[in-house]
Structure 1
Amino acid sequence: MLNREKSTACFERACRTIPGGVNSPARAFGAVGGEPLIMQRGEGQYLYDIDGNRLLDYVGSWGPHILGHGHPAVTGAIEDALRNRGTSFGAPTELETELAELVVDAVPSIEMVRMVNSGTEATMSAIRLARGFTGRNVVIKFAGCYHGHVDSLLVQAGSGALTHGVPSSPGVPAGCTADTIALEYNNLDELAETFEKRGDEIACIILEPVVGNMGVVAPQPGFLEGCRDLCTKHDALLIFDEVMTGFRLAYGGAQERFGVTPDLTTLGKIIGGGLPVGAYGGRADVMKTVSPTGPVYQAGTLSGNPLAMASGIATLRTLKDTNPYPQLEQTTATLVEGLRNAAAEADIPHSVAQVGSMFTLFFNPDPVTSFTVSARNDTDRFARYFQGMLNRGVYLPCSQFEANFVSAKHTDDDIAATITAARETLAELQQG
Structure 2
Amino acid sequence: MYQYKRSSELFDEANKYIPGGVNSPVRAFKSVGGTPVFIEKAKGSILTDADGNEYIDYISSWGPMILGHAYPKVIEAIKEKVEDSTSFGAPTELEIDIAKLIVEMVPNIDKVRMVNSGTEACMSAIRVARGYTGRNKFIKFEGCYHGHADSFLIKAGSGASTFGVPNSPGVTPGTANDTLTARYNDIDNVKQLVAENKDEIAAIIIEPIAGNMGCVLPKKGFMEELRTLCDQEGILLIFDEVMNGFRLARGGAQEYLGIKADLVTFGKVIGGGMPVGAYAGPDEIMKVVSPLGPVYQAGTLSGNPIAMIAGYTLLKDLNENPQYFTELEEKTEYLHKGLDKVLAESGFDYKINRCGSMISVFFTDVDVLDFDTAATANNEKFPQFFHEMLKRGIYLPPSSFESYFLSNSLTYEMLDKTIQAAKESLEAMK
Instruction: With the length of structure 1 as denominator, give the TM-score of the two structures.
Output: 0.98
Question: In the alignment, residue 355 of structure 2 is paired with which amino acid?
Answer: V
For residue 253 of structure 1, report the CA deviation from its aligned partner: 0.5
SS in 2 for 1:390: helix
Q: Is 1:114 matched with 2:117?
A: no
Q: 1:259-408, aligned counterparts within 5 Å?
A: 259-323=258-322, 324-408=324-408
- Report SS of the residue matched to 1:295: coil
State the match for 1:411 in structure 2.
411
Partner of 2:64: 64
Q: Is the 8 A contact 1:164 1:178 kept in 2?
A: yes
Q: Give how far 1:411 is off.
A: 0.7
Amino acid at match of 1:266: T
Inter-partner Cα distance in structure 2 for 1:109 and 1:156: 31
Q: What is the match of residue 249 of structure 2? A: 250
* Unaligned stretches of 5+ residues in structure 1: none
Please report how far the alpha carbon of residue 378 of structure 1 lies from its aligned counterpart in structure 2 after TM superposition: 4.0
Query: Structure 2: which amino acid aligns with 1:79?
Result: K
SS in structure 1 at match of 2:202? strand
Contact in 2 for aligned 1:157/1:184 (Cα 8 Å): no
Q: Is the partner of 1:176 in helix, strand or coil? A: helix
Q: Report what 2:50 is aligned to.
A: 50
2:126 corresponds in structure 1 to 127
Point out where structure 2 has 5 or more consecutive residues left out of the alignment: none
The amino acid of 1:43's aligned partner reads K
Aligned match of 1:102 = 101
- Aligned residue in 1 for 2:226: 227
- Alignment check: 8 A CA contact 1:166 1:177 kept: yes
Deviation, 1:157, is 2.9
Matched residue SS, 2:140:
strand
Query: Between Structure 1 and Structure 2, how many residues are aligned?
Result: 429
Between the aligned partners of 1:272 and 1:358, the Cα distance in structure 2 is 20
CA distance in 2, matches of 1:21, 1:197: 44
Letter in structure 1 aligned against 2:90: A
Alignment-mate amino acid for residue 263 of structure 1 = D
Structure 1 runs, 4 residues or longer, greater than 3 Å off? none
Amino acid at match of 2:193: T
Residue in structure 2 matched with residue 202 of structure 1 by the alignment:
201
Query: SS in structure 2 opposite 1:379?
Result: coil
Q: Equivalents in 1 of 2:358, 2:107: separation in Å?
A: 21
Paired residue secondary structure (1:129):
helix
TM-score (norm 2): 0.99
With 16-25 and 187-196 compared, the bigger mean Cα shift is at 187-196
1:426 counterpart residue number = 426
1:189 corresponding residue in structure 2: 188
Q: Distance between the aligned counterparts of 2:265 and 2:258, measured in 1? A: 17
SS of 2:227 mapped into structure 1: helix
Partner in structure 2 of residue 35 of structure 1? 35
Task: Provide Cα deviations, 1:344-385, integer angstroms capped at 9, x if missing partner.
Answer: 111000000000000000011111101111111142110000
Q: Secondary structure at the match of 2:62?
A: coil
The two structures, once aligned, show a CA RMSD in angstroms of 0.9
Deviation at 1:283, TM superposition (A): 1.4
Aligned residues of 2:151 and 2:179 also touching (Cα < 8 A): yes
Contact 2:45/2:410 (<8 A) preserved: yes
SS at structure 2 position matched to 1:16: helix
* Aligned amino acid, residue 54 of structure 2: R
What secondary structure does 2:138 align onto?
Answer: strand
The answer as to whether partners of 2:180 and 2:193 remain within 8 angstroms in 1 is no
Taking only the aligned residue pairs, the percentage that are identical comes to 52
Structure 2 distance, partners of 1:407, 1:307, is 22
Give, in angstroms, the shift of residue 196 of structure 1: 2.5
Q: Secondary structure at the match of 2:199?
A: helix
2: CA distance, partners of 1:180 / 1:220: 24
Q: Is the 8 A contact 1:158 1:181 kept in 2?
A: no
